Amino acid sequence: MTMISAFIIIFFSNLPTSMAWANSARFATRLHVRAERLTIKTALSVSSSLLDQMLSPNPSCDPTQMSPTSLAYIGDSVFELFVRSRYVWPARRTTDLQNLVVGRVRAETQSKIFRRLLSSEIFELTKEERNIISRGRNAGSSSGGRKRGPKRLYGSNDGKDSTYGGPEVYQDSTALEALIGFTYLTDKNRCVEIINFLSEELDRIDNEEGVVR
């Protein structure tokens, strides 16, 4: 045994009992706190995973085989939840909140931000995503004399008056929702990237209209 080792043993053996107990208690407390934090983090992770499963279709679902209208059906819900969460705080009167959300999820606004997405030189869409967009647009097109989408989009007799938007606006809206729905089901990280781009475009609109967030 070296001299230093002997000194250490003698030093600690002569510490007051109360000090030893105090150190032990502090150490145990630290361990307990760390264990609690780890438990909470694990629980949150598990809860998040379960919520993700509950908000997803049957595991046997193949998004590549889903119709564009079904993809848009999911995308519409995802986008609306995003918009509602975005504007629910700071607190607003219910009517003001509802009007704001409706204004952001309506076809006209979706078409506006969708066209910015398509023309963006920064955000590049994949070949598969462009295919989904094409399918979504076709699903939103009018056929057999039947006009798809809200009646407000068709203000003139021929339904092509740009003042009201016309069928192209609804096609854009359906295409965007189909894209969101597809990426939500197949690649949530990619869905986040798309939603983030749309969020930045909504920021611009909010600034133009003086909306407080």
CA angle 121, 64, 77 (to 5 degrees): 70
Q: Is 76 a catalytic residue?
A: yes
The CB density around residue 203, as the number of other CB atoms within 10 Å, is 13
Q: Which of 76, 96, 161, 206 is catalytic?
A: 76
Across 157-191, b (16+ Cβ under 10 Å) vs e yields eebeeeebbbbbbbbbbbbbbbbbbbbbbeeeeeb
Distances from the Cα of 193 to the Cα of 116, 122, 183, 198, angstroms: 15, 12, 10, 9
Residue 8, both tokens:
């250490």
d(CA 23, CA 80): 54
Give the three-state DSSP class for 18.
Answer: helix
Cβ burial, residue 85 (10 Å; 0-12/13-18/19+): exposed
Question: DSSP character for 141?
Answer: S
d(CA 59, CA 205): 38
Which residues are designated catalytic? 76
